[in-house]
Structure 1
Amino acid sequence: MNEDTTPRPTREELAMTLFEHIGELRKRIIYTLIVLVIGLAIGLFLANPAYDFLMSQEPVSGMKLHTFSLWDGIGMYMKFALVIALLLVIPFAFFQLWAFVKPALQEREQRAALTFVPMALLLFIGGLAFSYFVVFPMAFNFTTDVSRHLGLEETYGITQYFTFLFNILIPISLLFELPIVIMFLTQIRILTPVRLRKMRRVAYLILIILGTMITPPDFISDMLVAVPLIVLYEVSVLLSGVVYRKQQARDAAWEEEFGT
């Protein structure tokens, strides 16, 4: 029997490879943090027109908001800056993730994974629209109805109002990235549609819990958020299946041409 004479990597070479990967990951994280800081600066510049726009929309149009602290105005600016910065950071973070795993992907997989970057931005914007135009009015009306039922006088602070708003907008918008995350993990062969189907019950439970945490404590509101999240998961499973079948077809073609 012929012995395998292929040289095996030494412990020092393996350690060097590990440190190179850690260094590369550190570089990608630093780049993302730099863009986050730049996005915050841009967000501070755009916070005032964004604030004026939201204050002209229902349900806050014509409502007088109050400040109960000297820091409330600054806190409002920072919240707006964070949301605006996320519009820049999310696609850039996906691009950095793609650049990190790029050496391990085939050329076709590299091109396919790169298309996830603009899709991530579109899904985030879609999540913002859904949470602002559907979930937030529903949550606001529920809480104000409870207050009026108790005979309470409505006096809203600017911090309390926008904290309530962004606590709904940001989590739902990030959850809308689920299809992109699952497709990307399938593309780099970490997840498969079979594994996702086996995880379906656990995923449903987690999504329902998240839906109840974001929305007011009534069944209709919970379902109006949980059902779209479950639909997003099922869409993610379907998209994962598309990516997986293309991988299987390419692997089969490779084996047929070059052998196993």
Structure 2
Amino acid sequence: MAKKNINEMSFLDHLEDLRWHLIRIVVAVVITATAAFFAKSFIFDFLIFGPAKSNFVTYKILCDLAQNFGMSDSFCFEELPFQIQSRTMAGQFSAHIWTAILAGFVIAFPYILYELWKFISPALHENERKHSRGFIIIASILFFIGVLFGYYIICPLSINFLGSYQVSSQVHNDFDLDSYIGLVRSSVLASGLVFELPILIYFLTKIGLVTPEFLRKYRKYALILVLVVSAIITPPDIASQIIVAIPILILYEVSIYISRIVIRNQRRNEKKHA
């Protein structure tokens, strides 16, 4: 049966269409999560626990930089002073399941965007769809860059600081498995979603909620917000916050440029139809 034109679809028809898109998204995540479930050694030993090892690439780079510039050698160590433990019967199995689901979501992210785009795109004009064909590719690239940034920058900075922090030499750090994985998960996902800022600004500009003038006017407030976000998702030291704040500020400036392009194209189209 042929799919109805969007103008002929009722509210219930739209809900039914959305339901099938969501079902396909869930199926894609389940398939990729199943593959991740069976790749347990790679997911946990190499990826999840990678930032907890002294030979992690970020620590090596920061250690070399610190030695070359005569800075603190806090990133030069043989072993991080903490242990990871599971204190519940189903702790490790539960961590395995939820980590596989997270990995499935990350791997399937381009397809998730594709299904959401298929649901949204019929409501756009033909020229809007034409100018937005690279949406899935660009949004996916930004998301994966954010995920890598979270994994290679935020995770090791946080793990090194929090894992080495002590209020007293009498207190030894033994972290629960869920707590450790939760830090890795939040760092990776938060960074991936934050890097979608240019895409968000693009759509907010398209519907008239944001303008380049608005973004420039409130740039100083955005700077404060970025520093607050950096303080939340990183350890409470200035160097880590600056490292995280810099790419977010760059994304904000890119978003202003994108918003300006959208407004310029809208005005050009209005002149053509005037």
Q: Which residue of 2 aligns with 1:29?
A: 22
Q: Is the 8 A contact 2:154 2:233 kept in 1?
A: no
* Structure having the larger proportion of residues in helix: 1
Spell out, residue by residue over 1:112-133, the C-alpha distance to the aligned partner (whole angstroms, 9 max, x if none).
Answer: 3231112222112211221122
Q: SS at 1:92's partner residue?
A: helix
Percent identical among aligned pairs is: 29
Q: SS at 2:52's partner residue?
A: coil
Q: Which residue of 2 aligns with 1:144?
A: 163
C-alpha displacement of 1:202: 5.0
Matched ranges for 1:59-208 at <5 A: 59-60=52-53, 65-147=84-166, 150-187=169-206, 191-198=210-217, 200-208=219-227
Q: Which runs of 5+ in 1 are unaligned?
A: 1-13
Q: SS at 1:139's partner residue?
A: helix
Q: Distance in 2 between matches of 1:98 and 1:54?
A: 30
Spell out, residue by residue over 1:134-178, the C-alpha distance to the aligned partner (whole angstroms, 9 max, x if none).
Answer: 122211221133228644334344333222222222211221111
TM-score (norm 2): 0.73
Q: Distance in 2 between matches of 1:134 and 1:68?
A: 29
Q: Which runs of 5+ in 2 are unaligned?
A: 1-6, 55-78
Q: Which residue of 2 aligns with 1:248?
A: 267
Which amino acid letter does the alignment assign opposite residue 37 of structure 1?
V
- The alignment yields a C-alpha RMSD, in angstroms, of 3.1
Q: Is the 8 A contact 1:105 1:188 kept in 2?
A: no
Summarize the Cα distance change of 1:188–1:30 in structure 2 as closer, same or farther, 3 Å threshold: farther
Spell out, residue by residue over 1:220-245, the C-alpha distance to the aligned partner (whole angstroms, 9 max, x if none).
Answer: 32332233222212211212222332
User: Are 2:57 and 1:38 equivalent residues in the alignment?
Assistant: no
Q: Which residue of 2 aligns with 1:6?
A: none
Q: SS at 2:190's partner residue?
A: helix
Q: Is the 8 A contact 2:48 2:181 kept in 1?
A: no
TM-score (norm 1): 0.77
Q: Which residue of 1 aligns with 2:68?
A: none
Which amino acid letter does the alignment assign opposite residue 52 of structure 1?
D
Q: SS at 1:182's partner residue?
A: helix
Which amino acid letter does the alignment assign opposite residue 22 of structure 2?
I
Q: Distance in 2 between matches of 1:231 and 1:172?
A: 14
Q: Which has the higher contact order (CA 8 A, sep 6+)?
A: 2
Q: Which residue of 1 aligns with 2:236?
A: 217
Q: SS at 1:238's partner residue?
A: helix
Matched ranges for 1:44-63 at <5 A: 44-54=37-47, 57-60=50-53
Q: Is the 8 A contact 2:51 2:155 kept in 1?
A: no
